[in-house]
Amino acid sequence: MAELLQILVSGLSAGAIYALAAVGFTLLWQASQTINFAQGEFVMLPAFFVLAGMTIFGLPLWAAILTALVLSLVVLGAMFKKLIVEPMLPHGTLPLVIATIALGILMKESVKEFYSAQGQPFPPLFPQHVINFFGASISIQDICNLVVAFAAIISLQLFLGRTRTGRAMQATAQDPRVAEILGVDVKKMVMYTFLINGALAAIASILISPVYLAKFSNGETLGMIAFIAAIVGGFNQIKGALLGGLLIGVIDNLAAVYVSAEYRTAIPLILLIVIIMVRPQGILGTPEGRTV
């Protein structure tokens, strides 16, 4: 029982971070039909912005994090949209998918060649002790990660639901043509979405790196998991991506304990294939009308 509680907490904590990446993934898809195959690398990279800021420029941790956040908005948000997505969208989604695959490789290999091929220790943001809760050892870091990730997603939900800009963004995601007629600046809303994705990736990166080390290859699994979380929960919903992320986090942690080490990585993949077979619209998703 204590063990299960322990797994549950660390699973939810990891899952909440996956959910950040999955929510960003879903937002991009809704706003601009962009399937970002480099999403995992988007989560890998900001940690290296922080590390570079600290080791190369000697910034204190908080300043390095702030710089990394700004850089993520510029590079992963604005530049990604302007340089990659915009010139390619007129050719359809296929070249864009291929381009994001290539972009992911480019980011991964560049970090490997120009920074380091070794996993880098990342300064912890939260106290690292473990408390005893009904016999289960629960790490403060896990709890804090869970809280921060949830806070980010809840404020995003509030922003989308309660503010004028947020509602305009949702209208854009639902139908850009209708949004345009209603007087929404569609281009600006799409740009906001890319910026939000950049910010979500940066938060996920900074939360997850102290747990697993910052490594160039982190994106491989993270990208896959973000996608699986988005599909499992329901591709067209933020709630779905959140649920999917939490679910995968818990399942992955359960698998680490109860499934042989050889096949641990296979569990989320099998989950993906099962979900696509039995409930392609995801757990919370609604079947989409066929597109015209």
- Minimum Å distance from CB 105 to other proteins? 4
Distance CA 72, CA 268 (A): 28
Closest CB to other proteins among residues 210, 219 = 219
Q: Which is nearer to other proteins, 24 or 210 (CB)?
A: 24
66 or 97, CB closer to other proteins? Answer: 97
- State in angstroms the smallest separation of the CB of 270 from other proteins: 8
Instruction: Catalog residues that contact other proteins under the rule CB under 8 A.
Output: 29, 35, 37, 84, 87-88, 91-99, 101-103, 105-106, 109-110, 112-113, 175, 178, 224, 227-228, 231, 235, 262-263, 265-266, 269-270, 272-273, 276-277, 280-281, 289-292
Alpha-carbon distance 280 to 232, whole Å?
Answer: 8
Pick 1 or 262: Cβ nearer other proteins: 262
Q: How far is the CB of 215 from other proteins (least distance, A)?
A: 16
Give 57 or 263: the residue with its C-beta nearer to other proteins.
Answer: 263
Least spacing, CB of residue 255 vs other proteins, in Å: 13
